[in-house]
Chains A and B, each alone.
Chain A
Amino acid sequence: MEGLCPAGVENLYNTRGKGWVVLKLTAEEIVKAAGEGRVNLTAAEEAEVQHQSLNILALLDAVPGESLNEIPAACYGHKQPGSTRQDTREPSLPLAAVLHNAADTDDYCFHVPRIVES
């Protein structure tokens, strides 16, 4: 199969000598992911994300998983244990500064459109 490019190439990737691996990354998944990030993509952008994602996921698949079994995941850049602060008051922002950059407010509150979609 090496070198051969079967139909539906977008979903098939050649991984370093291991033949074709089918990745189940669909256009619907891209649309769903975009929605979960609260952005709309154009058709061209969707295709681009799908293409790029397939590319990098195939590269990641090529990194042997077994070699990582015993290695812990790194979730932090920090190399020391976390710390705490005392429970003492610090000044809050003045109300004017709190509301200053907002698009829609009244004297005290931010405004958001209706919560429940009609």
Chain B
Amino acid sequence: MNELETVVGLEVHVELLTQTKLFCGCSAAFGAEPNTQVCAVCLGLPGETLPRLNQQALEFAIKAALALNCSIAGEVSFDRKNYFYADLPKGYQISQFFQPIGTRGYVEIQSAGEIKPIGIHQLHLEEDTGKLLHVGDILSSPFSRVDFNRAGVPLIEIVSEPDLRSAEEARLFLQKLRSILRYLDVSDCKMEEGSMRCDANVSVRPRGSSALGKKTELKNMNSFRSVYKGIEYEVQRQSRLLQEGGEVLPETRHWDEGAELTRAMRSKFLSANYRCFPDPNLPPLLTSRERLNALQEAIPELPDARLERFVREYSLPRYDAEILTATRELADFYENTLAVFPVPKAVSNWTMGELLGLLNEAGQEIGTCKITPTDLGELLKMVQEEMISRNMGKAVLEEMFASGEKPGVIVEKKGLVQISDEGALAEIIARVIDQNPKSVEDYRGGKKKAVGFLVGQVMKETRGKANPQLVNEMLKKQLEV
């Protein structure tokens, strides 16, 4: 048997960051008590199923489609996708079946050092369903509880072409998608909270073949890691099947996070037979050229463009630029710090090395960080002007991270200002030389390293406040007299 090639396409659902639901004025916020954010419309009450389209959701969807290089439909129309399920209050979901807002787009990922475009088949706007709370797991639950808070929350569904060739590419694609959507500020894309969800169509085929193999649809992957592991597992499973002369069944499989394997969902309800037709309650809207242009102009610089600019404009290593542009917040933070302290590499080092370290340790994101770009800039200035040492700087940064106080305040409070006054230092240096004749002898005898010990003694005497470089120079001068 030939070597096998992996073929993956993703279907990604992303909740939009609107105040209200797609078709009614109920709050779209996450985490409320069950069924406290529902009204007659999103509950599908008799006579009340009249949807009113949320302008903001529509604009978010169009912006996302533009950012993913899609063609935009000339009119916006909605269809009913009819099926019976407990999380669907009306017996149909309002979605875009016949005319998705965006089609034929692409996203570029960097795979094995090369830029690779991944096709976007379509992007469409639809309403989310409610949530089922099972007693135990879905297969054995004797009854389920239904919460409709999420029913009607605006979603965009992004369907990729089957252009992904590995689990790693799928992960990279998903990360790029998240990064772009966060740059646009249209979604927070939190997989753990379900504001970003991903299903994968996975198949394998002999390398070189252009036909698609039988695919399985993979569900229930709730993190980037599980998307990777789920696809990886499924590829192994399918490859083994084919190599053993078996056949892949086209089916839906659930990723079991605990057991780290996929299981077939045999139950009847998944074999859906949808009927779709235009929703008579939602006459199409026209998308005017002017409106599209305005939305296009409102799209901020996207991660790829920003990365290139960082490399070009700030002469940063590509590695630095990638990390700094991973989220819009971090890139903004970086550039705002530069405005105060315009030394790109130094700011990059401090941001990536120190600040991200602190954030990771605390499990925080830059958005909730107490340190402002101005404060970081001020701190770096102090270090550069040798008011404080680099090590002191790190200590001050930690303090800033914990308390949110300004660096100047912390330095003053702790009396950290560096002693760079030669007069003040000369006295201490003289004393240290007197007290350590052995080291002085060693140095003069050729053991130049001995000066380090003496510097250390001076630092000890000054409780770390002496400017180490200056001490070094002054000591050498003294010793060589």
Partners in one complex: yes
Q: Which residue numbers of A lie inside 8 Å of B, CB to CB?
A: 36, 38, 75-78, 80-93, 95, 98-99, 106, 108-117
Report B-chain residues with C-beta under 8 Å of the C-beta of A87. Answer: 18-20, 54-57
User: Which of B27, B36, B145, B277 contacts A89, CB < 8 Å?
Assistant: B27
The listed residue (A36, A78, A108, A110) touching B283 by CB distance below 8 A is A78
Of A81, A82, A89, most buried by chain B (CB within 10 Å of CB) is: A82
Whether the Cβ atoms of A114 and B26 lie closer than 8 Å is no
Judging by beta carbons under 8 Å apart, are B143 and A111 in contact?
A: yes
A75 touches B278 (CB 8 A): yes
Do A84 and B282 touch across chains, with their CB atoms under 8 A apart? no
Interface of A, secondary structure class, is loop
Given contacts A84-B285, A87-B57, A92-B26, contact A108 B18 (CB under 8 A): no
Contact B53 A83 (CB under 8 A): yes
CB proximity to A under 8 Å, residues B108-135: 132-134
Q: How far is the CA of A22 from the CA of B206 in the complex (A)?
A: 46
Known A75-B277, A108-B36; further 5 A-B contacts with Cβ < 8 A? A76-B284, A88-B25, A89-B25, A90-B26, A112-B132
Among B271-291, those with CB < 8 Å from A are: 273, 275, 277-278, 280, 282-286
| Contact residues on B (Cβ < 8 Å of other chain), bracket | 35 or more
Answer whether A90 and B141 are a contact pair too, CB < 8 Å, given A38-B84, A108-B34: no
Residues of B within 8 A of A113 (CB): 143
B37 — nearest CB in chain A belongs to which residue? A92
Tell me which residues across on chain A come within 8 A of B36, comparing CB atoms.
92, 95, 108
Please state if B27 and A92 are interface contacts (CB–CB under 8 Å): yes
Q: B18 touching A114 by the CB < 8 A rule?
A: no
Cα distance, A89 to B57, chains bound together (Å)? 14
- Say if the beta carbon of B67 comes within 8 Å of chain A: no
Asked, given contacts A82-B283, A90-B20, A92-B36, whether A109 binds B43 with beta carbons under 8 Å apart, the answer is no
State in angstroms the CA–CA spacing of A109 and B149 once bound together: 10
- Give the A-binding residues of B (Cβ under 8 A): 18-20, 24-27, 33-40, 43, 52-58, 75-76, 84, 86, 132-134, 138-139, 141-148, 267-269, 273, 275, 277-278, 280, 282-286
Q: Which residue of A lies closest to B76 (CB)?
A: A82
Contact of B268 (CB < 8 Å), options: A78, A99, A117: A117
Question: 18 interchain pairs (CB within 8 A)?
Answer: A36-B273, A75-B277, A77-B280, A84-B55, A84-B58, A84-B285, A86-B56, A88-B20, A88-B25, A89-B20, A90-B26, A92-B27, A93-B40, A108-B145, A109-B145, A112-B86, A115-B269, A116-B267
- Which 5 A-B pairs have CB atoms at the shortest separation, nearest pair first? A90-B25, A87-B56, A109-B145, A84-B55, A75-B278
Separation in Å of the A12 CB from the closest CB of chain B?
Answer: 28
CA distance in complex: A24, B284 (Å): 35
In-complex Cβ contact of A98 among B43, B53, B132, B280 (8 A): B43
Q: Are A111 and B145 in contact (CB under 8 A)?
A: yes
Q: Is the CB of A98 within 8 A of B285?
A: no
Cβ-neighbour of A93 out of B38, B142, B144, B284 (below 8 A): B38
Please state if A112 and B20 are interface contacts (CB–CB under 8 Å).
no
With a CB–CB cut-off of 8 A, which chain A residues contact B56?
A: 86-87
Contact B35 A80 (CB under 8 A): no
Residue of A nearest to B79 (CB): A75
B147 surroundings in chain A (CB, below 8 A): 108-109
Q: Is the CB of B86 within 8 A of A115?
A: yes
